[in-house]
Amino acid sequence: MAAEKKQRPKREPPKKRKTGGRAASKSAEPKTKAKASSSKTGKPGRAAPTKGESKVATKTSATSVASDWDPRIVVFACNWCSYAGADTAGVSRIQHQPHFRMIRVMCSGRIQPGFVLRAFERGADGVLVSGCHFGDCHYVNGNERAVEQFEKTMNVVKLLGLEEGRLRLEWISAAEGVRFAQVINEFTDQVRALGPSPMAGSRQAS
């Protein structure tokens, strides 16, 4: 009998812990709130955002919008073929990416390395040089000279630490509106994949 009286008090303390004291009731309150809120959102295990969380959510959405970066591309185009090809694309309402500015020159042979380097210096992320196909140059061999100038320019671009993909040479005729759109789309995607030019920092600071 004496042994039975000693066993009863040992079983009682665990029962008191299950019902909980003040500390236990406080820790249980947030769990019940989280369960209630998760039932509202319909997503198990995920509580509905509080006021603080909603602010964080708006900030993250803002940064995601800022990360949707579009490149700035400069297109040097000869007056007689490539510029007319861009015009054909516009007249034909061929859709293409719009993140470029065109600089018209009379012949692609006029595009010196300094023109391209100046564009990069002023914040361009990519530069496209375009002219007439071989045999179509209105100045006989201006596009052949453009190739020589382009090779020199590419060497300097590499020395500056820029990627080769930021500079491109294409021949586009006046009738090739579709080709112009394709080249623009391809080059824009290519430059977008490379990201902002390291030389474009001065542009953003100014």
Binding site for ligand FES (CB under 6 A): 78, 80-81, 107-109, 131-132, 137-139, 142-143
CB of 181 to ligand FES, least distance (A): 19
CB of 145 to ligand FES, least distance (A): 9
193 SS3 class: helix
Token match 């914040």: residue?
Answer: 123
67 SS3 class: coil
CB of 139 to ligand FES, least distance (A): 5
Nearer to ligand FES, 150 or 187 (CB): 150
The answer for residues whose C-beta is within 8 angstroms of residue 45's C-beta and 6 or more apart is: 38
Whole-angstrom distance, CA of residue 129 vs CA of residue 108? 7
Comparing CA positions, the residue from 185, 81, 76 lying closest to residue 133 is 81
Nearer to ligand FES, 138 or 203 (CB): 138
Whole-angstrom distance, CA of residue 75 vs CA of residue 127? 6
Nearer to ligand FES, 71 or 142 (CB): 142
Nearer to ligand FES, 78 or 184 (CB): 78
Tokens read off for 121: 């210096």
CB of 154 to ligand FES, least distance (A): 18
